[in-house]
Structure 1
Amino acid sequence: MTQWRTIPEMVLSAADRFGDAEAVVDYGDNPAGTDGPLRLSFAEVAERIRTASGAFSRFGVGKGDRVALWAPNSAEWIIAAFGLMTAGGVLVPVNTRFKPDEAADVIARSGAKAVLAQKGFLGQDFDIPGVPTIDLKSDFLSGGTPFEGAVDGGDISDVIYTSGTTGRPKGAMMNHSQTLRMYEEWATLADLREGDRYLMINPYFHTFGLKAGLVASFLRGATMLPVAVFDIDRVVDLIAVERITMLPGPPTLYHSLLTVADKNRLATLRAGVTGAADIPVELVRRIHDELPFQTLMTGYGLTEAGNVTLSRPGDSSVDVATTAGLPCEGVEVRVADDGEVLVRGYSVMQGYLDDPVATAEAIDTDGWLHTGDLGEFTESGRLRIVGRKKDMFIVGGFNAYPAEIEGYLLEHPAVAQVAVIGVADDRLGQVGKAFVVLDENPGAAGTSADELLAWSRERMAGYKVPRYLAFLDELPLNATGKVMKDRLGTRLGAG
C-alpha cells in the first residue's frame, strides 16, 4: 500500500522527495550525444504539471471530464497526462499507430472534451471532426495558472481502450488508488530504484508505458527518458550517452541488443522487464550470459486488470521464459474448467466506459474477470499462459484482434470472405496471416495479395496489417457456419 490516495498527490510530492534530481531527459528529434535535450528536475516537472493543470481548468476541464492524448512519448506527454489528472480530468490515451478513422471512433465514444495531438507525427492527420484538437507542442500546457483540483482515490484516473476478446475497442476504467497500489508492487519486483535511468521504449498510450513506466518512475524517483520511435542504433546511443540502467521492452528488443557489436556501450544496463510474447529459454539464457542485466522480470497482465502475475527475484531462466510468475499480492487467479484464466481482486477495472453489457460479460457476479486467455499452473504455483480463448495474437507487444482486422478487409470490394490467424514470427513473436475468398464480381478476379496488403496499410495500424495473405476457394466452415481456424493453421499451412 502507498501513502498517497491519488496519482497527482504522489506525482507532485516527487518535488519534495527528489527535488533537483533529474526527472525527464527528452532528446526529441535530436540524436543522442548532441546538444539540446530537454532536462527537467522533479521540482521543475511538478511545477509544469501544476501549470498544465491550470491550462486544462481554464479550458473548461472539470472533475471527471475526459481528454484524449494522441501523441508519441515525450516530455509534453508526461506533463499533459499528469496535468490533466491534477485538474481532476480523466486521461484517454490513444494508440499512435491508429489511422484517423480508428482514433476518431475511440475518441468519439470516450466523450472526450478535447484531444491533444502531436501534429505530423508519422505523417498522420491528427484532426478529429467535432472535437477540439490542441497541438501538444504548442504553448497550451504552459499557459495556465498553477492549479490543483479536488481528486479522490476512488475517482477514475484513466480510460484505456482495448479490444478485450472481441474486435471493437472498449474503454477500461481504472481509478487512482488501485493504480498506485499495483505499480508500487511492480516497482519493487522490477527492482526499480531511486536514481535509475529508465529508457522508455514502451509507448505511453499503453498501460505498461503509462503505469509501469511513468507512474512507477515518479514512485521511485527514476529518471524518465522517452523514446518516440524505436530505432536500435538510437537506443544504443542513448544507453551509452545517458548511462541507462533500466530498459523494459518486448523480446524483440533483447534480440536486437544481442546483435550489438560493442557490448561495452551497454555496460550500465542493470534491470530489464519483458513479456507480451512467448520467450525462448535460450533467449533468456543469452540475456543473462551476454548482456549486463542483473535482473530480468516477466509477468502477465491486461488492460482490464493491470498486473496479474509477476516473476520474483531469483527466478530461473526457465521460470522467466516459460511462466508468467506468481499472482500479485491481493490478486486472486484461478483457471476455470475450460482453461480460461480468471482474475479477482483490487486490481480489476471499474468496468468498461458506457458499456454495462460488455462489463457484465467480462466480470461475472462473483467478481471474476474472464480474461479470454487460457492458462495452467505449474507445480510451483506459477502461471503459464498456453493460448487465447478467442484468437487474439500479439505482434511485437501489441494485441491484434482477428475480428477487427477481418472487418477492415471485408470493406474491400473484392473480398467476399476472410479469416485471420496469428502465425509464428522469429522477430515479432507473431504476425497475422489472412485467408481470403474473393468476390465473384468481374473486378475481383485480378486482385493480388500485394494490392490487398497495400490497401490494408492505408487503413490499419501497421501491427494489424497481415504479414501474409493467401487466397482460397472457400473457408473451412463447421455445421453452424463458423470458420474452423484450427484448420487454417494446420491443414492449409500457416507459415
Structure 2
Amino acid sequence: MPPPPAAPPPPVEPTRPVESAPPLESTPPSEPAPPSEPAPPATLARLPEYAAAAHGDREALADGEVRWTFTRLAAEIAAAARAAIAHGIRPGDRVAIWAPNSRQWIAAALGAVGAGAVLVPVNTRYKPAEAADVIRRSGARVLFTERGFLGTDYVHDLHASGEDLGALGSTVVLRGGNGPDSWEAYLAGGESVTEAERLARADRIRPGDLSDILYTSGTTGRSKGVMTTHGQTLRLYASWSELVTLRPGDRYLLVNPFFHTFGYKAGILACLLRGVTMLPEAVYDTDRILTRMAAERVTCLMGPPTVFHGLIRHPELAAHDLSALRLAGTGAASVPTALVEEIRSVLGAPDVFTAYGLTESGGVVSVCPTDADARTVAHTVGLPLPGTEVRIASPLGEVLPTGRPGEVQVRGYHVTPGYLDDPAATAEAVLPGGWLRTGDIGVLDDRGYLSITDRLKDMYVVGGFNAYPAEVENVLLTHPAVTDAAVVGAPDERLGEVGVAYVVTAGPPVTAAELTAWSRERLANFKVPRRFHLVPELPRNAGGKLLKAQLRRAARGEGA
C-alpha cells in the first residue's frame, strides 16, 4: 500500500546560542580545496562536532514533538558540557544516569563525557538499593535522573531508601523537576562557561582515557563495573556500524534502553558516527511501535527476538505501512530460522543480522552478514570483527580445533582494561596474553563463523550426560506454535538433574505431551525436558537477556 501523506514537521526549536570559533584563514587559490569529509573523532568529546560537520542539517533526532538537526544536537550537547563544567564536574569524575531513553539522556550523557567525566549508566529497572550500590561503588559524584517515569519518583525513592550513596554530591532531574535541581537550571548554570573553555576541556581528553563504566547484570552474583576507553568505543562502533550497513539517512527506532551497551553504543553513538536519525522510545509497546514505524518511515529496528515476534503476530500489522524497513538486528537469545525468514517476508526487511558480544568486549565480538542465508543468520553469530581474535578452549585451556565445542575466548583492542576496583575478578576474566574468558560455550565452523551453543554455567548433567539448554531450546523453537523457550536444569533423585522447559506459544493450544513427542523425535532421550511449563512470557532484563537464574529457582520450587 502507498505510504500515507507526510504530516508537516513540527516547528523547530530555536538553537541554543553557541560562541563562534575564530574565523578560519582563507585558503590560497593555489592550494587544493579542503576535503569535504571531516576527520573521524579521536574521542567521544569530539563526536557531536564531527556529526554536525559531516551531516549538518540532516535530522538527527525526533523525540515527541521535538526535532533536532545534527547541528542543533551538537549545540545542545555543547551546552550540556558547559553546564557540566559549571557544575564542578572534573575530568575523571564518575557521573551516573538513571533515566529512560530521551533527548535529555543523550545531551546529559554526552555533555558530561565531553567535559571529561566517566559515564555510569544505571538500569531503570533497578530498585533503589540496587541503584545505590552502583552509585556508591562507582564513586559517582553527580546523578542524572527523573521524576514520574511510569509512576516512579527516582529522586524520592533513592533518598528515602536510606542507602549509602558514597561520594554522590548532587542530583539533576532531567524531566519532572522545576527547582534548582532541574535540567533547565543545570543548563542555565553553564551560561557562565565560554565555548573556548569547553573546547579546552575537550582537548584534554585522550583516546586512552576512560569513557564509561557499565555494570554487568549481576545474574551470577554482585555486578562488576566494566571499564572502557574513548578510543576502544569509537573504533569498535565505527566497525560495527559499517558491518551492519548503517548509512546516512537511515531512521533508527531506539527501543533498546540507553543504560545498556546496545542502546547507548550501538544506538546513540552509532547514529552519530553514521548520520542516522535517532527515534528514542522510553517504553516498548507494540501498538505504539507499529504506529511510529509507519509514521516516521523507520528503516532500522534492532532488539531481542520477542520484539519481532510481537510485530509479526500483531493483528493490526497489515494496517501499517512498514515498507521503509530495510535493516533488522537481533540476538541475546536463540533465534529460529523461521523468524529470520518472517522478518524478511512478513516485515519486508531484506537485511537481517545477528551479532554476539558481552560488556567486557565493549558489546561486540562478531557480526553475521546482513545478506547471509536465514539458517546462517539464525544459527551463527557470524565472523569476528576486524582486529578481533576468537578461539575455542577446553576446560584445561587447550585450544580446540574447528567443530569442537568449548569456551569462547576473545582477544582484541576492545577487550576491557578490567573491572573497577576488582583486580581479582579482572585476573580471572582476562588471561595472560589478553584473552578474555567469556563463559560462553561455542564452536567455530570451517568458514570461521562462530556459533554460541550455551553458557558454561547453564549446562546440567542428566544421568552422567552433559545437556546444553540452547540445543534443546533451538529444537523447541522449530515447533510451529512455539515463539519463545528456555530450558534449565533441576535436581532429580534418580538422574541427578533433568531439564525443565518454559515455553511461550501462539495460535492453537499446545500440550506438554505434544512438546515431549516433538522433542523425542529430534533429540536423544536424556536431552528431552521432563517437565514443560506453558507461560505467557519469559523473564528478561531490559536488554533482552533471559533471566535463567529466576527460572532455575522456579524449577527447584523456590519461587521467584
Taking structure 1 as the reference length, what is the TM-score of the superposition?
Answer: 0.78
Match of 1:208 among 241, 244, 262: 262
Counterpart of 2:327 in structure 1 is: 271
> Counterpart of 2:446 in 1: which secondary structure?
coil
Aligned-pair CA distance for 1:270: 0.8
Return closer, same or farther for 1:371/1:462 CA change in 2, 3 Å cut-off. Answer: closer
CA contact (8 A) 1:54 1:87 kept: yes
Counterpart of 1:332 in structure 2 is: 389
CA distance in structure 2 between the aligned counterparts of 1:462 and 1:308, rounded to whole angstroms: 17
Deviations 1:471-495 (A, max 9, x none): 869x9xxxxxxxxxxxxxxxxxx9x
Aligned-pair CA distance for 1:122: 2.8
Deviations 1:194-228 (A, max 9, x none): 01111000111000111110111000110101000
Counterpart of 1:93 in structure 2 is: 121
CA distance in structure 2 between the aligned counterparts of 1:353 and 1:468, rounded to whole angstroms: 29
* Residue type of the alignment partner of 2:84: F
Aligned-pair CA distance for 1:59: 1.1
Matched, 1:5 2:42: yes
Return closer, same or farther for 1:472/1:86 CA change in 2, 3 Å cut-off. Answer: closer
CA contact (8 A) 2:256 2:302 kept: yes
Which piece of structure 1 moves more, 189-198 or 127-136?
127-136
Q: Larger RCO: Structure 1 or Structure 2 (Cα < 8 Å, ≥ 6 residues apart)?
A: 1
CA contact (8 A) 1:6 1:153 kept: yes
> Counterpart of 1:20 in 2: which secondary structure?
coil
Match of 1:142 among 187, 190, 193: 187
> Counterpart of 1:60 in 2: which secondary structure?
coil
Return closer, same or farther for 1:472/1:370 CA change in 2, 3 Å cut-off. Answer: closer
Aligned-pair CA distance for 1:124: 3.0
> Counterpart of 2:154 in 1: which secondary structure?
coil
Aligned-pair CA distance for 1:427: 7.4
Counterpart of 2:353 in structure 1 is: 297
> Counterpart of 1:243 in 2: which secondary structure?
coil
> Counterpart of 1:293 in 2: which secondary structure?
coil
Match of 2:132 among 101, 104, 113: 104
Return closer, same or farther for 1:387/1:139 CA change in 2, 3 Å cut-off. Answer: same
Return closer, same or farther for 1:471/1:107 CA change in 2, 3 Å cut-off. Answer: same
Matched, 1:188 2:226: no
Deviations 1:283-302 (A, max 9, x none): 11111221210201111100
CA contact (8 A) 1:68 1:114 kept: yes
* Residue type of the alignment partner of 2:504: D
Return closer, same or farther for 1:252/1:347 CA change in 2, 3 Å cut-off. Answer: same
Aligned-pair CA distance for 1:73: 0.4
Deviations 1:398-420 (A, max 9, x none): xx9x9xxxxxxxxxxxxxxxx9x
Identity %: 46
CA distance in structure 2 between the aligned counterparts of 1:313 and 1:468, rounded to whole angstroms: 35
Counterpart of 2:8 in structure 1 is: none
Aligned-pair CA distance for 1:314: 2.4
Aligned-pair CA distance for 1:312: 1.5
CA distance in structure 2 between the aligned counterparts of 1:427 and 1:77, rounded to whole angstroms: 36
CA distance in structure 1 between the aligned counterparts of 2:238 and 2:502, rounded to whole angstroms: 34
Runs (5+) with no aligned partner, structure 2: 1-38, 160-164, 176-182, 396-405, 460-468, 471-485, 489-496, 507-538
Counterpart of 2:288 in structure 1 is: 234
Taking structure 2 as the reference length, what is the TM-score of the superposition?
Answer: 0.69
CA distance in structure 2 between the aligned counterparts of 1:324 and 1:164, rounded to whole angstroms: 24
Counterpart of 2:429 in structure 1 is: 362
CA distance in structure 2 between the aligned counterparts of 1:426 and 1:176, rounded to whole angstroms: 41
Q: How does 1:70-85 map to 2 (within 5 A)?
A: 70-85=98-113
> Counterpart of 1:114 in 2: which secondary structure?
strand
* Residue type of the alignment partner of 1:319: T
CA distance in structure 2 between the aligned counterparts of 1:200 and 1:390, rounded to whole angstroms: 31
CA contact (8 A) 1:156 1:173 kept: yes
Aligned-pair CA distance for 1:125: 4.0
Return closer, same or farther for 1:388/1:422 CA change in 2, 3 Å cut-off. Answer: farther
CA distance in structure 2 between the aligned counterparts of 1:216 and 1:471, rounded to whole angstroms: 40
Aligned-pair CA distance for 1:151: 1.0
CA contact (8 A) 1:343 1:371 kept: yes
Deviations 1:375-417 (A, max 9, x none): 11122211111111124999xxxxx9x9xxxxxxxxxxxxxxx
Higher Cα radius of gyration: 2
CA distance in structure 1 between the aligned counterparts of 2:344 and 2:410, rounded to whole angstroms: 31
Q: How does 1:265-414 map to 2 (within 5 A)?
A: 265-305=321-361, 306-338=363-395, 339-391=406-458
Deviations 1:296-316 (A, max 9, x none): 111110000021111124211
CA contact (8 A) 2:305 2:333 kept: yes
> Counterpart of 1:247 in 2: which secondary structure?
strand
Q: How does 1:452-467 map to 2 (within 5 A)?
A: 466=550
CA contact (8 A) 2:304 2:332 kept: yes
* Residue type of the alignment partner of 2:301: L
Deviations 1:37-92 (A, max 9, x none): 11111111111111101111111111110100000000001101110111010100
* Residue type of the alignment partner of 1:179: T
Deviations 1:443-493 (A, max 9, x none): xxxxxxxxxxxxx9xxxx9975946965869x9xxxxxxxxxxxxxxxxxx
> Counterpart of 1:120 in 2: which secondary structure?
strand
Counterpart of 1:426 in structure 2 is: 504
Return closer, same or farther for 1:285/1:463 CA change in 2, 3 Å cut-off. Answer: closer
Counterpart of 1:172 in structure 2 is: 226
CA distance in structure 2 between the aligned counterparts of 1:214 and 1:427, rounded to whole angstroms: 34
> Counterpart of 1:25 in 2: which secondary structure?
strand
CA contact (8 A) 1:341 1:375 kept: yes
> Counterpart of 1:187 in 2: which secondary structure?
helix
Return closer, same or farther for 1:384/1:247 CA change in 2, 3 Å cut-off. Answer: same
> Counterpart of 1:108 in 2: which secondary structure?
helix
Aligned-pair CA distance for 1:10: 2.0
Counterpart of 1:126 in structure 2 is: 154
* Residue type of the alignment partner of 1:368: W
Return closer, same or farther for 1:193/1:167 CA change in 2, 3 Å cut-off. Answer: same
CA distance in structure 2 between the aligned counterparts of 1:377 and 1:313, rounded to whole angstroms: 19
Match of 2:57 among 17, 20, 26: 20
Return closer, same or farther for 1:52/1:273 CA change in 2, 3 Å cut-off. Answer: same
Match of 1:44 among 34, 48, 72: 72
CA contact (8 A) 1:55 1:140 kept: no
Return closer, same or farther for 1:104/1:231 CA change in 2, 3 Å cut-off. Answer: same
Counterpart of 1:221 in structure 2 is: 275
